[in-house]
Every structure is written in structure tokens, then in C-alpha cells.
Structure 1
Amino acid sequence: MDYDSDNTVQKQLDAAMPWVGLYIAAASALCILAMSADAFNSFRRKQLWFPCKYTSLNGASLTLLAVAMKLPMDINTVMINSETDTSAKFTSLLFMFTALNIVMPSLGSMNDKDLLTSCVGLALLVVTITANIAIHTIEVQRFLSRAMIPSVAMLVSLAMLVCLALSVSAMKRSLKQKYEEKHREALEKEEELVESFKMDDQRRQMMKYWVMAESSCPQFVIARSCVCAASSMITSFFGIIYTVVHVLEGTSANAPGKTPYGVYTKRIVAVQSHGVGIAVILAMLRWLVALVFRCSSTNTWVIESYWIQTLNDCRNSSAGIKIGPKRWGKCLFYAKWSVLTFCIGVQSFIVLASKTLIFISGFMLAPLVLCCSHINMYVRRHHDTSSGDDDLDLNYLSSYVLLLDGEVKLPTSLVRSMCREADGMIKIGREKKPSNLLNLLHKSDSSNTSQIATLVLGLAHDCWTLQVVTLTSIAFALPNISQHQRKQLLSSVSEGLSLATTVEKTLDTNAKLKSIRNAASSILVELLVYSKWAEIDLRTGFLWCRNSKQVLQELSDKSEEIVMELKSESQDSNMGNPLNFPVRVVAANSMHRICQTILLSYGEEESCEEMWERLCVMIADVLVACLTNLPHVIMKMCHQSCIRKRDETVHEAFLLLGKTEEVVGIVRRQRRLGIDHDEEALTMSSMNELAVTVDC
């Protein structure tokens, strides 16, 4: 009876195994999809060192790899069709081995805590897989010859990955120091170039930061290192051998027969084989690129300090160990010293072995590298339209390439490729120019400058975005305005506010006016979605008003009620500073001030259409005053000291440069026609010293 029951349960479990196989195939397919996405982005940007964006080493990727490794970790399932199942396990091991090389560059994008947790998790996974394969081989006496080679290669690849992880922090510190030196050098002529408002001069100045950001990109530094290059070479070597073996044994490996995972065993082999093929191609290209960078290295067998600095600092530190007269403290210290000394020896051996492999492969492939170089030079000589001045600029920009100690100078062709990518970002920005905003800025009237400065720009307590949102809300409250005009203004204001927000965030370095910007953002969302201001419907709430003066007075009264209500209810001593006010009250304070200031200049009665045009001109003038700071802001965006964010912010700066080229041109025209740039542009530069008061 018990025997029949056990058989029934076993059959039910066996029936579910094909679903497990489908799950494994799906996880493997997701890993391959991430590899393909990274490969596509790299080819599109001509970055053949293949940075990791979707295949980064993190919790999600580790989980997918763990699911994809179900076959080599499964030691309980009976293997019925030995050829197919053995081939599936072997393919899974190769898939894991190649994946270790693919994720290596992502180590540069992690902080120390993420590095520790991710490397520990990956090490546990690899060691578990290896242990299961060893147990299965010893107990079943099967799978030995084919499993040992990828298992050992997987452990070697893991050791090289850990070697890179231990040196990431020291590499970043070295690159940060070199960046600060070059940054001080680049700042010498920056101010006069920004003040000149010349697009080409500013682009050339920004190109220095682009080259520094690209050359010091942590993932690029890892990818061109000797250890990663050697790992890529090993991955390529074993991948080619596997391909040959797989082709020769393809018939027997695909022999018919029943397997625990059903038809999905062959699907797993097919999917993971494609993944191995993609990973091998990427590893081979990454190896060849690194080989070109290091083919003329003169310090092949020198261990640079950053490889062992982290371990050396840990060895010399006594943190966590109390050394006293007792014997156990000294024993622990000597044990720690011995273990870390051994680790430093292993680290040094891995680096030396990697450099030796790169040197040997470079020597063997030197004719191929020279041939490719001559072909590249020939093609460029006949098809490149760049002038001699550009070549001089490239030589000058090459001095801003950030290299680690022991690295050779990067080829000029790579610097040229970096500059072309930067120009491509500017071109993309030009295609995204804010057309609606440009139409609005053309309405700015320099003859109205003094009046606008008195009405709006002189209100020091408001940031530019809140002023624009408040003026737009007043315009929307005016009756007898067509829906087309409202939509057009809203589109223009939305484009302008996205740029104005960037300006304010960059200039307000201490974020002291963050609450006011939040108020502007909240009011804008309410205006865009519900056409309301402070829960007042702007479409129907003022239809009874006969002229624009009544609209302004009504908005002023309602905003005053909101502020006075806060004063009567709040007992908090900190509420004396409007920076601490709730969003609704900050918006009401701005509305009351602007309405009252406009009413003071209100002479004869104006029609709603005339007030609409007047408000549009005021909005345009406020945006012009704000966007006057764009050249300074774009340059400041390039001054990113954080190495993990530097590449991203410099990309955003070049995109913004192309996007706002015509905007800056309009600002230049308005500046020449009489807008006091020094007074208005410095309004946000001195934001941290602004005194804020409520006059209601």
C-alpha cells in the first residue's frame, strides 16, 4: 500500500518536471535577451567593450542565473537519456562560465556594499554548482570528463572577477585624483568662454569633460584592464572549443530518448547554446579591443598599487581585533596577516598571469592588429573630411584622457570616436528642440523690461518656475480665451519649465528653495490635469467677471484667505519662514503678490484678450531671465566629481546643449536689446541668501 502511494506521488512529481524545464528555458532566454540588448546598445554607440546595463551583477541577474543553473545543480533527478542530459548540463556550465565574463564591467558601477553582497552571492552560487557537479561525478561515476573542464574554468573566472572587485575602489580613488587635476586645468578658460556665449567655444570646452568622463567610466576601465581582457580571451578559447565539440557530437547529443524534463531539455540546450555563442562573440570583441589598447605596454610584469591596495590596507589595519597582553589577540592578528598575505599573493599571481596571457596573445596577433590599423588609416585618409585643425584638437583632447598607472595612451581613433559620439548627442538634442517654447520666447519684449522687473522679476521670494506657473494660472482664469490659445500656452510653458527646473536645481546647490520648487511642480500638475489652481476651477470659476481686473482681484482675495487661514491656525514658530509653508500656502503667497503687483500698474481697464497677451509677454520675459543662465548651467553640469554619475550627467549636458541652441540664441538677442543680464541672471545664483517674507 505504501509502495503504491510512493509510486503515485513520484509519478505526479515527474509529470511536473517539464514545467520546471520550461521555467529554466524562460530564465535562460531572459538572460540572453539582456545580453542582446546590451550588445545592441554597444554596437549602436560603437562601444565594442560592451558596457553592462541590463546584464549588471545584482539580485535580479543572480536569481535568473540560479534558475538557469537548475540542471547542473540537480543531483536527485535520475538521468535517463545520458547523452542529452549530459549535454544539457555541460551547456549550462558553459553558459554560467561565459556569463561571468559578460558581467565583469558592471563591477565598476557598484559601490563597496553592493560589490561585497553581489560577489558573495555569486561566489556561493558558483561554489554550490561546482560542489554539486563534484558530488554527482563521484557518486554516479558519470559526467566526469566533460564537467571538470568547464567547472575549473568557471572557478578561474570567478577568481578573476573577485580580483577585479577587490581593486575597483582603489581604481576609482586614483581616477578621482587624476580628474581633479585635469578639472582644475580645464577651469582656467571656462568663465570667459561661457560669458562669450559662443556655441562652438563652449562645445570645445565641454569636450574636455566628455573625454574625461568617457575615459574614466568605471565600466570602461574594468573592460580594458588586463584581468578582464584575459578572462575574455579564456572565454573565447573555451567557447570556440565547445562549438567544435558541439558540432562534432551534435548527432549523438540530440539522440531521441526520454528525459526528466521532457522536450524542454533540448529547448534548454538550444537556448543556452545561443547564449554561449553570443557571450563568446562579445568576449572575443572585448578581448581584441583591450588588446589594441595594451599592445604597446612597456610595463607588462609590474603590479600596480591599485591591484593590491585594498587587501594591503586591510592587512595593515587592526580594526576589529583587540591586541593586548593576551595571547589570543596576537594570534588573531597574525592569522589575519597570514591569510591576507596569501590573498595578496593570489591577487598578484592573477594579475601577472593575465598580463602574460595578454602579452603572448598580443605578440601572436600583432600582424593582424597592424594590418587592421593600416586599413583604418587608409580608409580615414580617403574618406575622412576632418581638417588638420581637428587633428590638432584631437591631440590636445588626448591629454585629457584619464588613465590608471601602467596603462598605455589610448589610440587617437578612440578619442575621435568619443568626440563623434558627443557631436551625435548634440544632434539628438537639436532634434528635440522645444518648438512651442521658441514661439513663446519670441514674444519677449525688451522695451518692457523695466516694467517686468518691477512687476515680477523683482519678487525675490519666488523661484522662476513658481512665477511662471502663477502667471499661467492667472492667464487661464481669464474668460473669453479660446481653447487653442490655452493649449498652445500650456505646451510652451511645459517645455520652458522643464528647462527652468534644470537651471534652478543646478544653481540652488544647497536646495534651500526646494519647497518652493515643489509647490510650483504641484500647482503645475493640478493645472495640467484638472485646469485648477488651489482647487479653484479656472475654466468656469471666473466666467462672471466682466474684465481682467475683477479676475486679478478675485484671485488675490482667495489667495489672501488661504494665507490668513494658515496664520490663524498655525502655532509653529518655524512657520514664520515661508520656506516652511505647505505647498498650497506657498502658491497662494505667490499668487497674492503677483496679482497685487499687476493691479498696482493697472491703469485703464484692459480686455481679457489684452491681459492675455500681456501675461504671455511677462511669462516669456521671466523664462528669458531664467534661461539666460543656461550656458553657465550646462558647463556646471559637466563638473561632476562623482565617478559613477559623471558619464550620465555629461551626456545630459551635451543633449541639453543641442536642445537649447536656438533658445540661447533668442536669449542672446534679448540680452543685446537691453535685458540686464547681470541683475536677472544672478537672482538664482544668490538664492541661498534670499530673504523671504509675507506681506499679506
Structure 2
Amino acid sequence: MIVDAFNGFRSKKFWLPSKYFSLNAFSLTVLTVSMKLPVDFTSSTQGNNDKLARVSSLVFMSTAMGNFVTSLGSMEDYDIVLNLAALGILVVTVAGNVCIHNAQMRGFLDVIGTLAEDIGSSVFMLLLLVTLCSSALMDPTAKKYIESGYQEMHKRVSNEKVDWGKFTINELRVVVRRYWVMAETGSPQFVVGRSVTCVMSGWMCLLMALTLLEAHIRVTLLYRSHCFVNVSSHYKWSINWILVIQSIGVVLGSIAPLLRWFIAVQFKSSKLSLRSFKEGFKVETYWTQTLVDWRDSPLSLQIRHYKCRKLVHDAKRLLLNFCIAVQIVIVLASKLVLLISAPCVYGILFCFQCIKNLKACDSSESRAGTELDFRQYVLLLESEPGLPEKMLTNICNEMDKLIQKGKKKIPKNLIKLLQRSVNFNGVREFDRGEIESLHTRDLPNCWSLPVVTLTSIAISLPNIKNHKAKQLLVRAVSEGLFFVKLIEKTLYSNGELESLRNTADVVWVGVELYKACPQGRTHKEMLQSLSSTAEKTVRDFVNGRDDVVMQNPLNWPVKIIAANSMYRITQTILLAHKDDDQLTDEKLFKLLSIMIADIIAACLTNLARVITLKCHRNAIKEREESIRQAALLLGESVEILEILQQLEIPNLDPEKAANIEDWRAYSEASASA
């Protein structure tokens, strides 16, 4: 619970989403263990610490349940039903045992001391269980409502998407911020966290914590001189540790419910004074829609007898009508607590505002004006007021911090390499069509495979005096492959070129970790040696093979695909420079470096599209994390995008721009024209 609170404070999500402490089997098991005292019939509670420890256990249970509320938003409906059923069994068992124990020990001093606290804690525990069930019933309908709003907003935003090759850094930042606001305000946990039931649960957790405090003070003062105070506990010295640990747990665990209570009141009551009292107590449809659907749905049981079927159906309707009435009562009670809590929250906010006004606030005022544009991307439920300005500011600031965090990881070596590219001719020049194919069907190309092949050739050149140049090239390509692989993974989602990408990964491990050994005294001898070895490897594999599967080059083993790429690229280099007797290893290394830079630069022109694609995910669970990655990626690639904007990017369709073969076809057509 305290780790969730720490993470919430660090990210300025003061509604404190549940990440580590949620309603699941592990948490319920630990809570069951901690409920040893309330369900123990065999031990007496004559000592002060025994009495207080029983109360602290009940209060701790209620505090844990208060922390469970937001975790319902990130759970599937089936998991919610199972975990709530398990929690209900535990709560009812504990409350029942407390009642039985108090009834059995009625009139004895070990019960009279904390009888009121025991009963009150049990009642509040049951009320928290009902509140959790109320939130769970609202959750499916609220998710559908928010998801519909997100999809509609996504259509509107996608119509204003950034065009490939025609983008600015500010445009990308605006796109990421729009989706960030949509994802954060539409987060299922945030939707539950700002609901009125969170007001109720936070308020009850506060009362429970005060109950424990009152019990500590009253029992210590009232029974200080009682003859049973010094009676030894059945739990001996451990009872003191149980009391201390659970009391600390109540204090720390109350942070999240109280902050959620505060945030929910701040959110829900931001326009309460502008609305009528009657409208403020309106029960929105998403609270009861699930129960109404269950009530009106046909029976799943196959009952042939008409009267029996009608009787069962009427009983089901009667039961669900009762549940709907209970749900309405809970919501109305929560809204009443909201109305009572609003003046307190307004008072606290007023004090903070007075302190804030004493400081210079020019920067915050200018920022508020720019963020008003993003209010239209806030996802809200029916009749919810607008998001408070401070919340929207924190949401946008968090995205800006992610971009700044990404800027700290700018690939400096890659940027130096990209600065060598003045055009994209290397995309066309690394492989020539007149090279003899080693198979009836040519292998297509992906971005990463020619890059790693060219790099392995470049660092294998025998007479390169500056070994630092090789090291810098390997580091730059390593940084570039991070972006290249990300682009391929995002844009080649059908897996068609997966074998080529896997080959590039395997080859790069050898290049990066083991480097390459020169295979000749001159670059021509080395290239000829590499070409001959690669050709022999491919021909030995292809000749005499009747396997239908292996007739498709994409099904070849990694070693054969790598050899085919090496053969074609080395033959292309030999053909391009066969009459150039003055070509030195140093010059060839420079030419290959420029060719590598051209290919990586051409691939990185798809970065803007990848960033925008990462902003949108249909799966709610993946949405926030995907946009987080997009913001970090934008920060890392700011200087890369600035370099690309200085180049003359061809007028290609975005779908074709993702494919290196389409780049090559366009480049060859432009060169011939």
C-alpha cells in the first residue's frame, strides 16, 4: 500500500492508482492470515493490548478494503466476481466470528472494554464490502462509456494526424499530448478513483482510523489500573508487535483512501455550486445499467413448465429490483457524503490557493492558457464536471517530463553518423539488380539486414588505420538498430519479414560482440573472399533440395539468408568499383559508412508515423504504457527528426515508405528519370 502511495506521489497521480496492492488471491491470502485474532475463539482478551489488537485487526481489514477500490478498474469482469466473492466470504466470516465471540463473552471484562469498537468496525467492514460491490457493478458500463468516447475522439484526432515526411517536433508533441490526456483521463482506475463511491470508502476509512485512535486513548486511560491489565496474553510478546504493526499499517494504508476521497470530492464538486440540489443527487444510468440488463435478460435455465419459468423469472426480477434499490441508496448516500465533504475540501483548497498567490505565478498562468486547448480531449462519464485545471496541468506536465527523460538518452553516435547522409542514395546503391541471383526467387530486403551486413564488411576492411572509426561505427549502428527494429516491429506487424529480422539480429550479435576478421590483404581480396564463401554456402544449400517449404527463401535458415545478403552486397561493391584502382580501404570505409547512414536515415523517416501509431492502442491495458513509450521515443529522437527535416524526403505514400523495396524502386525511377 505504501509503495502504491509512493509511486502516486512521484508521478503526481494523487488518486494513487493500485499497481502493487490490488484485489487478488495473494492479497486476500495475506489478509486472511492477518485476521487471526478476530476469528480466534480459543484465546481470551483480558489485557489492554489484546483488546486493542482485535480492534486494530478489524480496522486494518477495512483499510485494506478501502485500498482495493481503484484496482477494480484494471480487472476483468470474471476476476472481479471471483475475487469479490472470496473477499465477501472472508469479511462475513470475520464479522460473524466477532459477533459470536462478543455474544459468548457477554458480561466479561475482556469484551466490555472494546465492544462498541468491535461492533462498529464490523459494521463498517460490511459497508465497505457493499461499497466495493457497488463500484464493481458500475465498472463494466463505465468502461464501455469511456471506450466509446475514446474511439470517437480517436477518429477526430486521426483526421488531424501528422503526414509522413511533413511534420514538425511541435506537431508530434501535440499529438502525443492529446492521446496522453485521453489515456490518463480514460484510465479505468482513474474513472473508479474519481467516483462517488471512492468518497464513501475514503470517508469510512477515515472514521475507522479515528475509531482505532479513540480505542487506543480510551482503553489506555480507562483500564490503566484494572486488575486484568497485566494478565499474560496467549500470544505473549507477539501481541505487542501485532498491535504496533497493524496500527502503523492503518496509518500508512489510510493515505490512499483519504487522498482518493479528497481528489474525488475536488473533481465531483468542482461545479456543484452551479447546479441545482436535485441535479446533484441524480443517479446516473451507468450505476444501475448492469443490474437492469441482468433483470431484463432472459433466463439461462431451460425450464419447460410455463408457470415455473414465470415464477423463477419474477423471483429474479424481484431480487434484482431490490439490488437496484440498494445500489441507488448507496449512490445517494455517497453523494450526500460528497455534499458534506465539499466545504471541507473547498476550505483546504482555499488555504492552498492563498499560499500560492503569495508566490510569483506568471509561468503557471501562461501555461494554463495553453492547456485549455486540451480540455476537449478529457474523457468524462455522464454528467461529470470538467477536469480541474490543476489535474490537467499535472497530466500534461507528466508527459513533458517523459519527453525530457527521453532527451537524456539521445543517441549521440547515431546522430554523428546521420550527419554524413546528404541524400538517400545508399538505399539504391547497396544492391544492384544485375547481380546474378542464387535462387529462382529473390529474397526481399528489410531495413536491418543490409545495415548489419554493410557494417560487418566495413569493420572487416584490413587496412583501416583509425580503429576508433570502426568502434564509433559499431556504436552508431547499434544505437540506430534500436530505432530500426522498433520501426520494423511496428510497421511489419504481419510477420512476413520476420525471418529477415531474426537473421539481422543473429548477424549483429557476431558483429558487435566478436567483430569480424579480415579475409585478405586488400579490400578487393577480402570482398572476393566473402563473396565466394557466401555463394558456396547458398548454392550448397539450394542444389538438390526438393523440399517445398524451402523453395520459399523466407523459410531458409538464418545462416543461408545471411550468406545470400553478403553475396549480393559484396558483388554490388565489387561491380561498382571494379575499375577504380585508386580506391583505398579508408575511402571504401567512408563510402560504406555513408551508405549505412543513408539506409538508416531513410528508415528513420518513419519515426513520426511510429510515434503516432504507438499513441493509439485498442487494448485498454496497453494504452497508457504504449503512449508512455511514444513520449520517451519522441524525446530520444528529437535531434534525429531535426536532421531528417533538413534532408529532401521523397514524396512517398506512408505505407510504401515503410518498405525498403518501395524506397529502392522510387529511387531507381528517380535516378533513371
2:324 is the counterpart of 1:344: yes
> 1:250: how far off?
4.7
With 253-262 and 458-467 compared, the bigger mean Cα shift is at: 253-262
Q: Deviations over 1:116-141 (max 9, x none)?
A: 33323322332333233334333444
SS at match of 1:72: coil
2:60 is the counterpart of 1:60: no
Of the three residues 249, 260, 263, the one matched with 1:289 is 263
Q: Deviations over 1:178-222 (max 9, x none)?
A: 112222222333235x65432123322332222111111111111
SS at match of 1:191: coil
The 8 Å contact of residues 55 and 212 in structure 2, kept in 1 or not, is answered as: no
What's the Cα RMSD here?
3.2
Of the three residues 189, 198, 216, the one matched with 1:228 is 198
Q: Using the alignment, how far apart are the partners of 1:689 and 1:265 within structure 2?
A: 74
Tell me the equivalent position of 2:340. 360
Match for 1:385: what amino acid? S
Of the three residues 265, 280, 298, the one matched with 2:239 is 265
Q: Using the alignment, how far apart are the partners of 2:51 and 2:264 within structure 1?
A: 35
Compared CA separation, residues 80 and 688, structure 1 to 2 (3 A): farther
Of the three residues 287, 292, 306, the one matched with 2:286 is 306
> 1:39: how far off?
1.5
2:125 is the counterpart of 1:126: no
Of the three residues 39, 58, 66, the one matched with 2:5 is 39
The 8 Å contact of residues 519 and 526 in structure 2, kept in 1 or not, is answered as: no
> 1:279: how far off?
2.0
Q: What does 1:186-585 correspond to in 2, within 5 Å?
A: 186-191=157-162, 195-250=165-220, 258-295=232-269, 296-297=271-272, 298=275, 299-318=279-298, 320-325=300-305, 327-362=307-342, 364-365=343-344, 368-369=347-348, 371-372=350-351, 374-375=353-354, 378=357, 382-386=360-364, 388=366, 390-446=367-423, 449-456=424-431, 461-479=444-462, 484-529=468-513, 531=514, 538-539=515-516, 542-564=517-539, 566-567=541-542, 572-585=547-560
2:135 is the counterpart of 1:157: no
Match for 1:210: what amino acid? W
Aligned residues: 638
With 253-262 and 128-137 compared, the bigger mean Cα shift is at: 253-262
Q: Using the alignment, how far apart are the partners of 2:469 and 2:314 within structure 1?
A: 79
> 1:567: how far off?
4.0
The 8 Å contact of residues 162 and 172 in structure 2, kept in 1 or not, is answered as: no
With 35-44 and 465-474 compared, the bigger mean Cα shift is at: 465-474
The 8 Å contact of residues 535 and 567 in structure 2, kept in 1 or not, is answered as: yes
Q: Using the alignment, how far apart are the partners of 1:512 and 1:383 within structure 2?
A: 55
Match for 2:490: what amino acid? T
Q: Using the alignment, how far apart are the partners of 2:83 and 2:523 within structure 1?
A: 63
Compared CA separation, residues 238 and 582, structure 1 to 2 (3 A): same
2:609 is the counterpart of 1:632: yes
The 8 Å contact of residues 236 and 280 in structure 1, kept in 2 or not, is answered as: yes
Q: Using the alignment, how far apart are the partners of 1:103 and 1:519 within structure 2?
A: 47
Match for 2:562: what amino acid? A
Question: 5+ unaligned residues in a row in structure 1: which ranges?
Answer: 1-34, 532-537, 692-696
Q: Using the alignment, how far apart are the partners of 1:331 and 1:638 within structure 2?
A: 52
Of the three residues 35, 38, 42, the one matched with 1:72 is 38
2:17 is the counterpart of 1:51: yes
Q: Using the alignment, how far apart are the partners of 1:410 and 1:394 within structure 2?
A: 12
Of the three residues 560, 565, 577, the one matched with 1:590 is 565
SS at match of 2:425: helix
Q: Deviations over 1:385-428 (max 9, x none)?
A: 2565x544322211211100021111222222222222111111
Match for 1:264: what amino acid? S
Compared CA separation, residues 686 and 118, structure 1 to 2 (3 A): farther
The 8 Å contact of residues 109 and 644 in structure 1, kept in 2 or not, is answered as: yes
> 1:631: how far off?
1.5
The 8 Å contact of residues 84 and 266 in structure 1, kept in 2 or not, is answered as: yes
Of the three residues 148, 157, 160, the one matched with 2:119 is 148
Q: Using the alignment, how far apart are the partners of 2:231 and 2:588 within structure 1?
A: 84
> 1:369: how far off?
5.0
2:625 is the counterpart of 1:648: yes
With 612-621 and 172-181 compared, the bigger mean Cα shift is at: 612-621
Compared CA separation, residues 305 and 515, structure 1 to 2 (3 A): farther
Q: Using the alignment, how far apart are the partners of 2:258 and 2:35 within structure 1?
A: 24
The 8 Å contact of residues 426 and 598 in structure 2, kept in 1 or not, is answered as: no
Tell me the equivalent position of 1:676. 650
SS at match of 1:473: helix
Match for 2:625: what amino acid? E
> 1:98: how far off?
0.6
> 1:474: how far off?
3.0
Match for 1:371: what amino acid? F
Q: Using the alignment, how far apart are the partners of 2:409 and 2:432 within structure 1?
A: 29
Compared CA separation, residues 195 and 450, structure 1 to 2 (3 A): closer
Q: Deviations over 1:470-491 (max 9, x none)?
A: 3333334444667654443333
The 8 Å contact of residues 426 and 594 in structure 2, kept in 1 or not, is answered as: no
Compared CA separation, residues 569 and 161, structure 1 to 2 (3 A): farther
With structure 2 as the length reference, what TM-score do the two structures score?
0.86
Percent sequence identity over matched residues?
Answer: 36
